[in-house]
Amino acid sequence: MEHPLTMNYGPIPGWAILGVIGLVSITFFGYQVAKATRLVMIGKPDNRFDNWPARIKEVATGWLGQKKVLEDKVAGGIHVLMFWGFLMLSSDMLDLATANWFSHNVLPELLRGPWNLMVETGYTIALIGCMAALTRRVVFTPEKLKGKSQVEGNAILLLIMTITVTSFFVEAGEAGVSSTYEPIGAWVADTFDPSTNLVVGSYWAHMLAIATFMFLIPLSKHMHLVMAFPNVFFHDMRPMATMEPLQTNDEGKAVLLDELDLESFGTANYTDLTWRNLIDGWACTSCARCQDVCPAYASGKALNPMEIIHDVRHYANDNYTTLMAGETPEEDIIARFGEDAIWACTTCHACVEACPIYIDHVPKLTDARRHLMMERMEFDEKVEPTIMPLMATIENLESDSNPYGLPSHERGDWAADLDVKVAEPAEYIYFAGCAASFDERNKKVARDTISIMKEAGLDVGILGMQEGCTGDAARRAGNEYLFQMLAETNLATFEEIGVKKIVASCPHCFHTLGKEYKDYGGEDIEVMHHSQLINHLQIEGKLPEPKHDGSVTYHDPCYLGRIGGELDAPRNAIGGVDIETERTGKSSFCCGAGGAQMWMEEHVDEGYDRVNVIRSKELAETGADTVAVGCPFCSTMVTDGLSAIGSQMEVKDIAEIVWEQIKANDAAIEAKKTDIPETAEA
């Protein structure tokens, strides 16, 4: 039969009808994409054109391969069927819009059959994906979708189903449809013997559905079909949670405090965000994975990381005329986010890790904190009760270089009887950190770590009163100037003493010293977490084979596991974990202390638990005797959380468990030497 596009419909030829439909939909689509692009490009400069091989590889695995999407086996699998299906069938749109000119005049005859098979496979798996998605949304509605409007999502799914189903009837109307390369089209032809009217109707329904879909893409969350690719390609390739200095030089390194030349700090306005940060607003798929893993959201606070990303796009569209005129809207981006949401973030980066298209939620919040802390110094009445303890902490950091406000000359007192070098060259410098230096509970962790290092015969020292806070809390709270002051002071101390290898038992120190100090001159310093060193020494045979008593579960600290990428060393150091929590490894749930929350007052609404209580319940559900931790903040938060729920589980640091076993081994050896039954207490 004649192709529907070449037919006349009354006095109007088919190509003219398609031309009008196509012109309207493509023009609108192009206008909206151009509008979004203009709104993105007014953001601050951001060099994301480095390391092309790595970026191309990430696009191949993250965008094309959908590796992060597939971490959710059900929803991810459904999405992948539709995504790959559309990639496979997309060339057929060109063929249908040209009355088969593409397949008959451009494609070599040898490829025509395989191409038809690819196209039909694409339509088929896209249809299967749509049917599965619609069934899941309507019949087996996920909890996060209940009570929310599903009109947009369901309408899009019905459009895609229309596109796929009608394609088989269009195929069936073509002469010589191949049962080898177009089996479904051939089956439809044999089964339904479609009439000309049915084929023609299917063709125009198909093209109208495509045009409608193109019209709706830029108006809906499906704009991610356009923006996901650049979002993945231009993703931040620095180590996770590495924050930008106040100002950088031509080499990308931090400008020293004495040489800073800045007129404002942090993010207050839309145009303070970089263009790459702004793409996030249009790339979001509204899958709510970030929402599902956010500890602040789970504890009933105002922060929903998905809504923060939506706010970027909605704010831009609401103020389009003002922004494009180069003017500043009356409402700033901080007001749109909400101060209570900004201060609720623990910077655990669970949202960033969960996002399938590499959205950076956290920097938008921490940059807003910088402005609030360093420039505005005024806080919403709703957040003042939360912030006041933090302000006292900041004052303590400024005066005594520790959040407790204790005299710096007491910083090394915990090691007074350990016969360890103090403020002098050593192969390994143990950076105790503020918690292990001043908190009684965590002083034991520091003492056990030093004891383990000496047991292995290492040349180890501490900085004593010359050690200062790394500045992690100041930086995450938004006081970037104070952070840089602390960083420059510590680096000067490292250079004076000749520090080359640092061991830290605090993941926040581990991250800040090892990754963020590189921007300030600490490139040549090797930083390791104490669990990494302990495990390395065990492998080398300098420490006994790892083991533990009783049943043990392990809580992954955010800044060691998800952010630091170290999952195995802590587990190996204690001889393995008997029972893992449901959320573990890079999917571990935050203890609630990160992002300077350790120094804020947490308020929760009725019906919600504090973040540490949520996590403690998960740990208690394992039924283990002991919770192993590798972070002083986690130790405090989990201990308090377990106490709140009445659990008798013990909380022990990795170093404590290892040192107990070493003492038990030594006692056993001594007992054998004297032929006295072992009674030594571990």
Give the 3-state DSSP-derived string for 8-73, with helices as H, strands as E and coil as C: EECCEEHHHHHHHHHHHHHHHHHHHHHHHHHHHHCCECCCCCCCHHHHHHHHHHHHHCCCCHHHCH
CA dihedral 417, 420, 423, 425 (to 10 degrees): 170
First-to-final CA distance of the chain: 89
Render pLDDT for 589-633 as a digit per residue (tens, 0 to 9): 999 999 999 999 999 999 999 999 999 999 999 999 999 999 999
pLDDT category at 51 given cuts 50, 70, 90 is very high
pTM: 0.93
646/623 Cα distance (integer angstroms): 13
379 has pLDDT over 90: no
Average model confidence (pLDDT) across the chain: 94
Coil, helix or strand at residue 553: strand
Mean local confidence (pLDDT), 538-565: 96
Domains with residue ranges and CATH for the chain: 4-228 (1.20.950), 266-382 (1.10.1060.10), 388-664 (no CATH)
Mean local confidence (pLDDT), 138-155: 81
579 has pLDDT over 50: yes
203 has pLDDT over 60: yes
Q: Would you tell me the crossing angle of helices 362-371 and 275-283 to the nearest 10 degrees?
A: 130
CA quadruple 191, 197, 199, 204: dihedral sign: negative
172/296 Cα distance (integer angstroms): 54
The per-residue pLDDT for 677 is 55
**Which strands make up the sheet holding 650-653, listed edge to edge?**
552-554, 626-629, 650-653
The per-residue pLDDT for 675 is 62
153 has pLDDT over 90: no
288/274 Cα distance (integer angstroms): 24
Mean local confidence (pLDDT), 288-303: 96
537/587 Cα distance (integer angstroms): 28
Strands 421-422 and 8-9: unpaired
Buried b or exposed e, range 119-153, using 16+ CB within 10 angstroms = bbbbbbbbbebbbbbbeebeeeeeeeeeeeeeeeb
Q: Would you tell me the crossing angle of helices 151-172 and 183-192 to the nearest 10 degrees?
A: 80
Strands 8-9 and 12-13: antiparallel
pLDDT category at 682 given cuts 50, 70, 90 is very low
pLDDT category at 676 given cuts 50, 70, 90 is low
Question: Do 347 and 362 touch, CB atoms closer than 8 A?
Answer: yes
Give the highest mean pLDDT range of 102-106, 151-155, 357-361: 357-361
602/328 Cα distance (integer angstroms): 34
616/292 Cα distance (integer angstroms): 18
Tokens of 459: 């040349």
- 181 contacts: CB under 8 Å, gap ≥ 6: 113, 114, 116, 117, 120
Strands 501-504 and 552-554: unpaired
Q: Residue holding tokens 């006692």?
A: 667
140 has pLDDT over 90: no
Question: Do 62 and 232 touch, CB atoms closer than 8 A?
Answer: yes
H or E stretch at 375: none
244 has pLDDT over 90: yes
The per-residue pLDDT for 680 is 46
Tokens of 127: 């249809």
The single-letter code of the amino acid at 272 is D
H or E stretch at 230: helix 224-233
Render pLDDT for 459-493 as a digit per residue (tens, 0 to 9): 999 999 999 999 999 999 999 999 999 999 999 99
> Which segments of 501-566 are extended strands (E)?
501-504, 526-529, 552-554
